[in-house]
Structures are given as C-alpha cells and as structure tokens.
Amino acid sequence: MYNVNGEKGWAYGDSDYIAFRTSTSIIFVSTDILKEYGEKIIEGKDTLYGIKNKPKEYYKPYCRDGNKEVIFKCPTTDMIELSSFIIDLKESVE
C-alpha cells in the first residue's frame, strides 16, 4: 500500500483503474475498490520488516530489505472478484 519511499503507493495515484496481467487475461480493478480492499486486508496486522523474500502466506503485510514499502500478496482470484471488467487475451487474439 506504500511505495519504497514509505509514501502512498500507486493505488493512491490519479488512475481510475489498475490492470493486472495474467497469462490469459487483463484484470481491471477500480483504484477506489483496490484501496479499500488493501486497507482492510492489512488493518491491525503487524508488518514484517527487512525481509529478503516475500512471505509464502497471503494477506501478510511486509517490507523488503532496504525499503520503506508496505505490500502484501493476494491470490489472483481476489482481483477477479474485485474487477470492474476483464479482457480475455485468448479471445482478443483470435
């Protein structure tokens, strides 16, 4: 949720959507929905600081070694559920 400088990250920028690319699709999630989701996920959880590798668990806020960020992993299925629309890459190529 925060960038490497400790400031609010890309979900807080001027964009209306953030696009997540998978091998088969592009998932568009509203930044308003994404911010609400992220803030709820990390609320009340301790952040792991100074780690070299991301945690294997989902929804665990962490900060990589040498940075001031706060980020977390989540399954792609969460982004699909939150999506405003999805472009299927297989259909668009045909």
Q: What are the pLDDT tens digits along the chain (94 aa)?
A: 778 888 888 888 889 999 999 999 999 999 999 999 999 999 999 999 888 877 888 999 999 888 888 889 999 999 999 999 999 998 655 5
In a domain, 14, yes or no: yes
In a domain, 36, yes or no: yes
Interstrand relation of 85-88 and 25-30 (parallel, antiparallel or unpaired): antiparallel
Predicted local distance difference test score (pLDDT) of residue 92: 58
In a domain, 87, yes or no: yes
In a domain, 89, yes or no: yes
Domain range for residue 37?
10-93
Tokens, residue 11: 């979900």
pTM of the model: 0.82
In a domain, 1, yes or no: no
In a domain, 3, yes or no: no
In a domain, 53, yes or no: yes
- Quote the number of domains for the chain: 1
